[in-house]
Every structure is written in C-alpha cells, then in structure tokens.
C-alpha cells in the first residue's frame, strides 16, 4: 500500500495528464474494518487505481459509484457493513461498518 503523500502525488499527476480523478476516503468506521479512518483510494475514469479503502471487495463498489462522480461531479457518501448478528450467521467473529466519502478532483 502506498502512503497518503505518494497517493496524492499520483492523483495530481494523473489529473495533470488529463485524467478525470476521484478520491475515496474512509471517514468513519465501526467494529471490524479492514482499513482505518483516513485511508484513501484514488480512481480514474479510465480505470486506474492506487491505494485502498478496504481489503478489495469494497473497491469494486466504490469504482462503480465513481461513474456518477465522474459524470456530474457529485460528492457521495457510501456506507458498507454487516451487523454483528449477520456476521455470526455467515461465520465472521463480529460485524463492522465503514463510511467512504467519494469526491472528484478538480
């Protein structure tokens, strides 16, 4: 995983080269969460990604949501999670939730 400074430099470089760029940031967590608050994922309209807001599965959902952000510049708040009760049902030790802020750069 790259650090925040490198990630933001990557986002700026992609933007400067003409890419449409969005930044996803973990703004809140509860319970079990694969990444802490402040974790970031940089995405481009052409499909490039750097960083992480999860362990992998949430990135695909964020990329899908980014299509709207790329199209109209809308900032989005995305929530992903599982309750403690549902976590037990599927064999997980506990539930968790993360909230991701998705913003277009520039």
Per-residue pLDDT tens for 33-46?
888 899 999 999 99
Q: Tell me the pLDDT tens digit for each residue of 9-28.
A: 999 999 999 999 999 999 99
Per-domain residue ranges for the chain? Answer: 4-10+23-104
DSSP secondary structure of the chain = ---HHHHHHHHHHHHHTT--EEEEEEEEEEES-SS-TT-EEEEETTS-EEE-SSSSHHHHHHHHHHHHHHHH---EEEEEEE-HHHHHHTT-S--EEEEEEEEE--
Whole-structure pTM value: 0.87
């Amino acid at each position: 995983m790259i650090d925040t400074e490198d990630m933001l430099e990557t986002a700026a470089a992609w933007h400067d080269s003409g890419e449409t760029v969005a930044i996803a940031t973990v703004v809140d967590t509860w319970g079990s969460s694969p990444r802490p608050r402040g974790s970031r994922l940089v995405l481009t309209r052409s499909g490039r990604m750097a960083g992480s807001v999860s362990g992998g599965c949430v990135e695909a959902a964020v990329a899908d949501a980014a299509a709207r952000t790329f199209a109209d510049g809308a900032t989005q708040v995305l929530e992903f999670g599982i309750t403690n009760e549902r976590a037990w049902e599927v064999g997980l030790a506990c539930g968790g939730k993360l909230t991701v802020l998705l913003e277009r750069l520039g």
